[in-house]
Structure 1
């Protein structure tokens, strides 16, 4: 009896061992770990960004492949990327702002950087690249700073980078051919001369350089808006007094157009879409005009939002995708502080003898709610969409 029992135990042990080895072998054969590196990366280009995040939790190799620049470039070349909306938000009375990403399925803002870190709460300028978002300058303890940080939207990590040559607040920045140009924002009149007015950063290098500019503006005014034009070498800029300039990146030259933008303080977040300038105005309005004009018209089709939300005031306008723009506004239903957004597409047509641009709402709703009622207000510093 004992011999039979011992034999049965040995048999069960051998069966378990064979089953375990079989499972290990099956797992090893079916896993991505056996694939050559180039095939492994090629497979990753075919899955969604959310799946890449999940795969990054499996192993170090999966995480390294999901975060590699090679994979990012391949996904862009294949067109297997989707827009992801990132928001830099200061919630009072928190001392520092935080980065959030709009979840593509839940349509809620999710904090992506663990904990708060010292950061300017106003006066910064932002530039997005294929992989992340640069934050430059701004006010720290009431004083301009030369600080530069980079949010890596693949790794969801904020990096401290080499500072600018000059401390700046209220500057404007654009990206042209992998080079970041920062205009104005110098407060100290002793150093805010034409030789310090523009500096440039080549993304491939760690340093900043002051850019000698031909025919600079006569006074070191703050640039309120700057928009890269269609030929990618010209920047249309407006200072805080409404003076219009054109900057040539190829010739490093500013040229005053001799025109003045009316009430520049009421027009913010300029962008160029479909050969049309767009900006957010006041009273919940989005405005448009042709680049060669100075008269702004209201984008039609947002009246429903204005009626549904008393006191509706847009606090940020940005591009979401090739077909869609996004607006944000603050709301307080039942006294609860919330951040709302709406996606809309644009169409234009002749009505009589005038062109009319109309927005069609695709989606809208609350993306962030202060359920604990601990916040007194919010300041949306940056909203930018990246294809990842």
Structure 2
């Protein structure tokens, strides 16, 4: 009887087969799903999903020249850009910038504009009126012509003027932070082409009428009251060194005692001042216009007020600005404080010759070129005591506009 032998099986393979667990396909799939879920990228958070306080802090650190484009991103950012809390935040992080406001005088009305570029970083390129953004007038009608304006903080007061060929006593206030208008109490008398100045919390208005008339507006009480001025209606007001001057009579008004006093005249040297002055680092800076009567020569200097010695001293180190600036009339100078530096803005007249097509003659367009200088001020102690030195960090042509454009204000926002 034949017996068939079965092949001997390897014991190790048997044990391995017994010990080897069955494949777990389902668990492998679950692990792959978990691995894919952990490695998948998370959605990017939206900028608008951040709290308003954080967005406002970010917007405060961006140049105002970009605000126009940012307002088109979404409604929430546009709302924050128009919030009055934005500008205190800019001041807190020391990111304020000077803003230039201009007024175009037309035969029937005036138009207001703001330069939509920063004055500091213009890349050295000269801009023109296409860089100006129009400011919507307070009503459906155009802004009155021949009005008088004065700057108070972040606001520009527009007083009087002519509307439909009739003199007006209305007072409108432009908030330069939001470019919105509000009405203020009207003057007691309608005025056209009056003179105005702001000092010690009050707005003084002189002239603009057929008969001599003047009044003062108290910002605290929001009331107008008569103001004694012993000069004719053509008297020109000038605010300099924190005092109120009348140019025609060379008198200065003492606001504390409420009376007019003769202004300074020393021998053959007459000192006149422009309306330009500002506070930089708790120091009052102004422009002196010196006229030598025997030679009819003129010279202007920047001076600072030493409150301890109660005297005005010249800011040293600005000889290059006097030579290159070409400023011939200090009444066209505007001063502003920009992050502890002195901003000087002025314009010079120029004639632009444009060739006429097909003709040999040229068309002469009378224009004016605005200039801007940034001056860093330092305090030094010398043999004569405390001195203030200035260093011109930036000096360049800024803007070219027709002669119909005039200064309104330069405000740091």
**TM-score, normalization by structure 2:** 0.62
Query: Take 1:297 and 1:226, find their aligned partners in 2: how far apart are those partners?
Result: 19
The yes-or-no answer on 1:165 pairing with 2:188 is yes
Matches within 5 A, 1:273-292: 273=279, 275-276=283-284, 278-279=286-287, 281=289, 283=298, 285-288=300-303, 290=305
Give how far 1:126 is off: 1.2
- Kept in 1, the 8 Å contact 2:327–2:348? The answer is no
Residues 1:140 and 1:228: Cα distance change in structure 2 (over 3 Å): farther
Query: Corresponding residue for 2:171?
Result: 148
SS of residue in 2 equivalent to 1:197:
strand
Distance 1:300 1:95, change over 3 A: farther
Partners in 2 of 1:307 and 1:38 — Cα distance?
Answer: 47
Of 90, 113, 118, which aligns to 1:99? 113
Whether contact under 8 Å (1:238, 1:244) holds in the other structure is: yes
Moved more, 238-247 or 47-56: 47-56
SS of equivalent residue, structure 1 residue 65: helix
| Structure number having the greater strand percentage | 2
Unaligned runs of 5+ in 1: 1-21, 230-235
Stretches of structure 2 that go unaligned for 5 or more consecutive residues are: 1-39, 291-297, 354-364
Would the aligned equivalents of 2:65 and 2:117 in 1 still touch at CA under 8 Å?
A: no
Q: Give distance in 2, aligned partners of 1:266 and 1:144.
A: 32
Q: CA RMSD in A?
A: 4.5
Matched, 1:381 2:407: yes
Deviation of 1:64 after TM superposition, in Å, equals 1.0
Is residue 58 of structure 2 the alignment partner of residue 58 of structure 1?
no
Structure 1 residue 341: deviation in Å?
1.3
Superposed CA offset, 1:332-353 (max 9, x none): 2765734131313445768876
- Structure-2 residue corresponding to 1:254: 258
What is the Cα deviation at residue 129 of structure 1? Answer: 2.3
Q: Give the equivalent residue in structure 2 for 1:332.
A: 350
User: 1:143 deviation in Å?
Assistant: 7.7
Alignment of 1:234-245 (within 5 A): 236-240=243-247, 241-245=249-253
**Equivalent residue, structure 1, for 2:18:** none
Deviation at 1:358, TM superposition (A): 5.2
Residue matched to 2:205? 184
Q: 2:274 aligns with which of 245, 252, 268?
A: 268
Q: Which moved more, 1:337-346 or 1:307-316?
A: 307-316
Q: Which residue pairs with 2:4 in the alignment?
A: none
In the aligned structure 2, how far is the partner of 1:199 from the partner of 1:311?
33
Q: How far is 1:65 from its partner? A: 1.5
TM-score (norm. length: structure 1): 0.65
Give the 5 Å matches for 1:205-224: 208-211=222-225, 216=228, 222=235, 224=237
Pairs aligned (count):
333
Structure with higher Rg: it is 2
Choose the corresponding residue for 2:333, options 309, 316, 329: 316
Q: Any idea what SS the aligned residue of 2:95 has?
A: coil
